[in-house]
Amino acid sequence: MLLIGLDAASSFSNFGYAIGHYRKGLVEIEQAGLLDTLAHAGSIIDTVLAPSLRAAKRALIAIDAPLGWPANLSRELSKHQAGQAFAVEKDAFFQRATDQFVRQIIGKKPLEVGADKIARAAHSALAVLDELRIKCEKPIPLAWDLNFTGVAAIEIYPGGTLKARALPDTGYKKPEQLATRQQIAASLTKDLQGIERYVNGAADIFDACICLSAAKDFLEGRTIAPREPILAKKEGWIWIREPGSAID
């Protein structure tokens, strides 16, 4: 089964991608890199990602970016007038239900799409996802359980994926933090064959590879489903595994 990991960023020079194949409980990384400039991004989408998805009978895209905005934010802004206060307190205004859930479960707070520059990365992610739909000629809906058909996408959070495994979830993205990336890669080898090839490169590429591990968790039913599916389909949902689960 084809897996694609996307570590979204507002600039394509920091937008990582990874392609892997899930077979018999293992993800084999085929290639990974950066979308780079806008022109190069078009080339990667046209010549690598879209053809792979078009040929795949079944595929999962795991995206590190919010794929929706807080319901309270949407509702309040639609009726807001300049100078007025909001009736909703700040956390409920700027955070999605999934953000609050992830913080409750693993003690790590995702960036707030309603209040942080991550919104620009989210905008880029949604644009790339739509471009893939057009180029591969498939609808690519969001998946809500592991029994999806065709090509689907999920939202994931590499920091949460790592923390749920009791692995370092910060302090690994700078060039001088190579030893930490090597530690993470060594722990994920049973999940991701070939991840060691990307410890020396850009952190965005490394995170795109971790997206593939999160996709594996989803496919194996290890991730936590939303308690309020209707709200999750409005706001988006971060799929992370149960904290403390053993790495197979």
pLDDT, tens digit, 9 for 90 and up, residues 185-207? 999 998 899 999 999 999 999 99
List the domain boundaries for the chain: 2-235
What pLDDT band is residue 128 in, cutting at 50, 70 and 90? very high
Query: In this predicted structure, what is the pLDDT of residue 208?
Result: 98
Q: Would you tell me how many other CB atoms lie within 10 Å of the CB of residue 197?
A: 14
What pLDDT band is residue 43 in, cutting at 50, 70 and 90? confident
Query: In this predicted structure, what is the pLDDT of residue 12?
Result: 85
115 vs 130, higher pLDDT:
130
| CA-based torsion, 16, 242, 228, 95: positive or negative | negative
pTM assigned to the model = 0.95
Map tokens 């194996």 to a residue. 220
- Per-residue pLDDT reduced to its tens digit, 2-34: 999 999 999 888 999 999 999 999 999 999 999
- Rounded Cα distance between 221 and 245, Å, is 12
Average pLDDT, the chain: 94
**For 107, left (φ over 0), alpha (ψ -120 to 50), or beta?**
left
Query: In this predicted structure, what is the pLDDT of residue 143?
Result: 98
What pLDDT band is residue 39 in, cutting at 50, 70 and 90? low
Among 150, 122, 156, smallest CA distance to 136 is for 150
DSSP assigned state of 223:
B
- Per-residue pLDDT reduced to its tens digit, 203-228: 999 999 999 999 999 999 999 999 99
- Per-residue pLDDT reduced to its tens digit, 132-176: 999 999 999 999 999 999 999 999 999 999 999 999 999 999 999
Query: In this predicted structure, what is the pLDDT of residue 232?
Result: 98
Stretch 99-108: mean pLDDT: 96
Query: In this predicted structure, what is the pLDDT of residue 36?
Result: 82
CA 145 to chain centre: 16
Among 154, 135, 197, 201, smallest CA distance to 173 is for 201
Stretch 36-60: mean pLDDT: 85
- Rounded Cα distance between 25 and 109, Å, is 29
